[in-house]
Amino acid sequence: MRKKILFLSHSSELYGAERVLLQVLTSLSRKEFQPFLVLPRRGPFLDQAKKLAVETFVVPSKWWLTEKARIWKQPFSWLWNIKCIFRIARLIKQKNIDLVYSNSAVNFCGALAARWHKVPHVWSIHEILGREDAPLGYLFGKRALLSLLSALSTRIIVYSEAAGQPFRNKEKVCLVPMGFKWSLGERGLKEMLRQKFGLSKEDYVIGTVGKIYPEKGQDKMVESIDLLQKDCPGIKLLIVGDVGNRRYFDRIKRFVSTRNLEKHVIFAGYQPDISGILSLMDLLVIPSSVESFGRVAVEAISVQVPVLVVRKGAAAEIVEAGENGFLVDSPDPPVLAEAIRSIRENPQLARRIAEKGSHLVREKYTIERQMEKTEGIIRESLGQGGHEKRGESALGQKIP
């Protein structure tokens, strides 16, 4: 009999964490598991779930974690979420759910409902937690948050050592290699997309991808372009992502206007076709040091786009300088600007590294490897994988 797995997403959009969960739902063995999905509202994720014929329930919920400036609002969200916990608990009972799988640390409803019915709970963590520069905070502090996540989990999945390092209970933490469904021809839309955004063949296009939040570092990228634009008139910055923090976004736009950078900075908004949008870039820069994996870096490398990332953070675990990308020690604008200038002035080196990196990431980051580990963790959590000893790396490399 198939085991019934209830997956919970913190969001109904299709950003990095949601796309990881969508891949899991797409590739999960239907002979062995029957998936169900809970979303907080209608959105693009719901449309994709319908295509997969996954029975989906819309259960409104609020995030349990917030930006640190808004921590005082958390108790109100917790009270509001009580109804969500009851509804998920009712689903667990009605559908005879065998395991609950929560995607992202920001929503506790699934974990609490699973504890109520005493069913195993797997937590897939897509955030950097427990660090001073972590963008999300918890009312009772980072130690309490990490302890709570561990207590409410049978296993915790992370996608980088940086994401797993803060957890004290290492036996529960499993490092799973991120996987992708690779295909050919991603660069075919390059010319069409360049026309869409008003880019010429002579423009040198630098891109940054991610929701517009302070921790993502889009402001540092704009300041870097300001330093470069006098010597590099054809340089363009393409900022891809929805606005997550309106004040921060407005501050960036004011800087663009004040410095007369309108011809050099393009706000592309949310783009569902990430592979396509990456293909028109000459360089992808990830100025953030709080990424929990760096999915977009792998996607860029796979389509032979050079990448530049800050050495501190999970994305630096992906990039090996001179092998598949470039590293920089600091996200400070002068440092970024100098690195961008150097890469632009050495196109043959950038091309050689991009081509080599593409082969490397396509061999390493496969959906088959990710699903082998993920399904193994689910089996173990269900009690079907008793031959592995706790604390060993049979199901996923444990954090040292």
Is 398 inside a domain boundary? no
Please tell me the predicted confidence (pLDDT) of residue 384.
Answer: 56
If we measure between CA atoms, which residue out of 296, 305, 282 comes closest to residue 354? 305
Measure the CA–CA gap between 186 and 255, rounded to whole angstroms. Answer: 34
| Pair 207, 337 in one domain | yes
Specify the number of domains making up the chain: 2
Please tell me the predicted confidence (pLDDT) of residue 270.
Answer: 87
| Pair 149, 245 in one domain | no
| Pair 51, 167 in one domain | yes
Is 25 inside a domain boundary? yes
Question: How far is CA 149 from its chain centroid?
Answer: 19
Residue 269 predicted with pLDDT over 50: yes
Please tell me the predicted confidence (pLDDT) of residue 64.
Answer: 95
Is 400 inside a domain boundary? no
Q: Among positive and negative, which fits the CA dihedral 149, 123, 289, 10?
A: negative
pLDDT tens per residue across span 48-60? 999 999 999 999 9
If we measure between CA atoms, which residue out of 102, 94, 96, 154 comes closest to residue 127? 102
User: What's the Cα-to-Cα distance from 40 to each of 17, 45, 74, rounded to whole Å?
Assistant: 15, 10, 17
Measure the CA–CA gap between 308 and 324, rounded to whole angstroms. Answer: 10
* Of 77-86, 262-271, 332-341, 378-387, minimum mean pLDDT range: 378-387
| Pair 228, 93 in one domain | no
Please tell me the predicted confidence (pLDDT) of residue 184.
Answer: 52
| Pair 175, 237 in one domain | no
Exposed / middle / buried, residue 285 (Cβ in 10 Å: 0-12, 13-18, 19+):
buried
| Pair 67, 46 in one domain | yes
Measure the CA–CA gap between 229 and 43, rounded to whole angstroms. Answer: 39
Confidence band, pLDDT 50/70/90 cuts, at residue 183: low
Please tell me the predicted confidence (pLDDT) of residue 80.
Answer: 96
Is 397 inside a domain boundary? no
Please tell me the predicted confidence (pLDDT) of residue 162.
Answer: 85
CB 328 within 8 A of CB 309: yes
Is 394 inside a domain boundary? no
Residue 224 predicted with pLDDT over 80: yes
3-state secondary structure 175-224: ECCCCECCCCCHHHHHHHHHHHCCCCCCCEEEEEECCECHHHCHHHHHHH
Place of tokens 């630096």: 316
Mean pLDDT of 132-151: 90
| Pair 106, 38 in one domain | yes
| Pair 167, 253 in one domain | no
Residue 89 predicted with pLDDT over 60: yes
Q: For residue 344, give the CATH number of its domain.
A: 3.40.50.2000
pLDDT tens per residue across span 13-31? 988 899 999 999 999 999 9
CB 44 within 8 A of CB 72: no
Is 373 inside a domain boundary? yes
Is 390 inside a domain boundary? no
Mean pLDDT of the chain: 88
Confidence band, pLDDT 50/70/90 cuts, at residue 33: very high
Mean pLDDT of 85-93: 97
Mean pLDDT of 212-223: 93
Residue 393 predicted with pLDDT over 60: no
Confidence band, pLDDT 50/70/90 cuts, at residue 195: confident
User: What's the Cα-to-Cα distance from 39 to each of 27, 97, 210, rounded to whole Å?
Assistant: 19, 16, 21
Tell me which amino acid residue 12 is. Answer: S
| Pair 67, 18 in one domain | yes
Encoded tokens for 348 = 């043959």
Is 62 inside a domain boundary? yes
Q: Note down the domain range covering 302.
A: 186-364
Residue 392 predicted with pLDDT over 70: no
| Pair 149, 197 in one domain | no
CB 100 within 8 A of CB 92: yes
| Pair 59, 99 in one domain | yes
| Pair 106, 123 in one domain | yes
pLDDT tens per residue across span 160-169? 888 888 898 8
Helix, strand, coil in percent for the chain, rounding step 5: 45, 20, 40
Residue 186 predicted with pLDDT over 60: no
